Chains A and B, each alone.
Chain A
Amino acid sequence: EDQVTQSPEALRLQEGESSSLNCSYTVSGLRGLFWYRQDPGKGPEFLFTLYSAGEEKEKERLKATLTKKESFLHITAPKPEDSATYLCAVQAGGKYNFNKFYFGSGTKLNVKP
Chain B
Amino acid sequence: AAGVIQSPRHLIKEKRETATLKCYPIPRHDTVYWYQQGPGQDPQFLISFYEKMQSDKGSIPDRFSAQQFSDYHSELNMSSLELGDSALYFCASSLESGDTQYFGPGTRLTVL
- Whole-angstrom distance between the alpha carbons of A49 and B58 in the complex? 22
Instruction: Please tell me the size bucket of the interface on A.
Output: 20 to 34
Which residue in A31, A42, A102 is a CB contact (below 8 Å) of B98?
A: A31
Which residue in A42, A98, A102, A105 is a CB contact (below 8 Å) of B106?
A: A42
**Contact, CB under 8 Å: B42 / A42:** no
CB-defined contacts of A105 to chain B, threshold 8 Å: 41-42
Which chain A residues (23-57) contact chain B, with CB distance < 8 Å?
31-32, 34, 36, 41-46, 49
Instruction: Please tell me the size bucket of the interface on B.
Output: 20 to 34
- Given A34-B100, A99-B31, does the pair A106, B56 have CB atoms closer than 8 Å? no
Report the tally of A-B residue pairs with Cβ distances under 8 A: 58
- Given A34-B100, A97-B56, A99-B55, does the pair A44, B41 have CB atoms closer than 8 Å? no
- Whole-angstrom distance between the alpha carbons of A101 and B88 in the complex? 18
Instruction: Pick from A43, A89, A105 the residue with the most CB of B within 10 Å.
Output: A43
Q: Is B105 an interface residue (CB 8 A)?
A: yes
**Contact, CB under 8 Å: A43 / B90:** yes
- Whole-angstrom distance between the alpha carbons of A31 and B93 in the complex? 17
Which chain A residues (74-113) contact chain B, with CB distance < 8 Å?
87, 89, 91, 97-106
Which residue in B48, B56, B100, B106 is a CB contact (below 8 Å) of A41?
A: B106
- Whole-angstrom distance between the alpha carbons of A84 and B75 in the complex? 29
**Contact, CB under 8 Å: B105 / A44:** no
Shortest distance between the CB of A102 and any CB in chain B (Å): 8
CB-defined contacts of B55 to chain A, threshold 8 Å: 99
**Contact, CB under 8 Å: B98 / A46:** no
**Contact, CB under 8 Å: B106 / A100:** no
